[in-house]
């Protein structure tokens, strides 16, 4: 069973993502801030993280950079879901090692398709 960490400081966004994915057969974990997400990623080793950029304690960019810099966690797929959709934001995400960048608002159907696609690449 694939493990997905949902990291967003907005409870409504976490709820929407959980509702979208819970019937898809994934084991879902949640974090409400960047530090909690980082600690969960290190202890639980999810296959994929759905990650917000702007979170308390640690930004999504910093979290992704730390994980991608460590060979033990580099393979975790990071899907950044964010309202920050300017070209500079995309470039910063790329520098941090983000695997896929999805601007908010997003379609739950698109999110499901993208996650399936990203996880299929692991097989």
Print pLDDT tens along the chain (123 aa). Answer: 999 999 999 999 999 999 999 999 999 999 999 999 999 999 999 999 999 999 999 999 999 999 999 999 999 999 998 887 788 888 889 999 999 999 888 899 999 999 999 999 766
pLDDT at res. 104: 84
**How buried is 67 (Cβ within 10 angstroms: 0-12 exposed, 13-18 middle, 19+ buried)?**
buried
Could you give the angle at the alpha carbon of 3 between the alpha carbons of 97 and 75, nearest 5°?
30
Q: What is the per-residue pLDDT for 84?
A: 72
**CATH class of the domain at 3-120:** alpha beta
């Amino acid at each position: 069973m694939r493990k997905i960490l949902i990291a967003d400081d907005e409870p409504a966004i976490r709820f929407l993502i959980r509702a979208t994915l819970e019937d898809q057969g994934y084991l879902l974990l949640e974090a409400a801030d960047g530090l909690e997400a980082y600690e969960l990623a290190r202890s639980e080793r999810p296959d994929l993280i759905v990650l917000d950029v702007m979170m308390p304690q640690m930004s999504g960019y910093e979290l992704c950079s730390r994980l991608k810099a460590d060979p033990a966690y580099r393979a975790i797929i990071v899907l950044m879901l964010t309202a920050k959709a300017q070209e500079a934001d995309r470039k910063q995400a790329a520098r941090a090692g983000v695997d896929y960048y999805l601007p908010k608002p997003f379609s739950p159907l698109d999110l499901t398709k993208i996650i399936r696609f990203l996880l299929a690449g692991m097989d």
